[in-house]
Amino acid sequence: MLTVDDLQPLPITGRKTIPEDYLDEMGHMNVMWYTHLLSNATGELFELFGLTREFCLAHNSGAFALECHLRYLAEVRVDQSVRIHSRLIARSEKRWQFMHFMVIEEDERLAATGEFVGAHIDMSIRRTAPIPAEIAPQFDELLAVHSELDWDPPLCGIMRP
């Protein structure tokens, strides 16, 4: 069973104290804000292996989301602070799979997980393209570090890069 302690070696790719306007009628964070926070964390994760805004502009490239699977494990409420850890899972020539783990910092509870498949895009034709040689080694290096963790990520089982 995955614990918050297992997440400690992973990079922190986001933090947020939840404002009141993130709440829904049930008094907890609305699902759209999970997506928003995990999307921001995705950008931070991509920066770790060089897929930055500057790189994308200079190389006419980008990334598209292809699939996602979110699990809501604990309510996130107003004024709670969340932290997001991210882990690379796998990659193919053009695609990658990764996960985000949202933790409620006040009690170190896992609030949500997000599993994603994305693709590198050649923006001149808006189609998938091989991961550029300029960033592939950094991706593979981070993937190797994450692959050495002594726990399996809680994958949904239907997504593949």
Q: Where are the domains of the chain?
A: 4-147
Share of the chain above pLDDT 90, in %: 97
Percent of the chain with pLDDT over 70: 100
Please tell me the predicted confidence (pLDDT) of residue 1.
Answer: 84
Residues 98-132 have pLDDT tens digits of 999 999 999 999 999 999 999 999 999 999 999 99
Task: Indicate whether 14 pLDDT > 90.
Answer: yes
* CA 52/CA 43 separation, integer angstroms: 8
What rounded mean pLDDT belongs to the chain?
Answer: 97
Domain 4-147: which CATH number of 3.10.129.10, 3.55.40.20, 2.40.37.10, 3.40.1170.20: 3.10.129.10
pLDDT digits (tens, 9 = 90+) for 42-90: 999 999 999 999 999 999 999 999 999 999 999 999 999 999 999 999 9
Residues paired with residue 98 on neighbouring β-strands, in sequence order: 88, 116
Q: Classify 87 as helix, strand or coil.
A: strand
